[in-house]
Amino acid sequence: PKEAVATQKYYFDKVSTVEIGLDMELTAQRVSALINSALLKLNYYFTQFITSRSEEDE
């Protein structure tokens, strides 16, 4: 049974490592999605700002 327990522990460690890896990957994807949407918003507001400024100058 000792070997069986060791094997179970090995597989358990393997599985939790994989789960942690997936979790980190998902977190990274979420973070990059947040950054992307923030950049898009900034880009949008910046464009609006530039457009309104150039209209005022005319």
Q: Which runs of consecutive H residues, i.e. helices, occur in 1-58? A: 2-57
Q: Tokens 């700002």 belong to which residue?
A: 49
d(CA 41, CA 53): 18
pLDDT in tens, 5-48: 888 888 888 888 888 888 889 899 999 999 999 999 999 999 99
pLDDT at 41: 96
Q: Tokens 């890896």 belong to which residue?
A: 21
- What global pTM score does this model have? 0.53
Enumerate the domain spans of the chain: 1-58
pLDDT at 58: 67
Burial group, residue 20, by CB count within 10 angstroms (0-12, 13-18, 19+): exposed
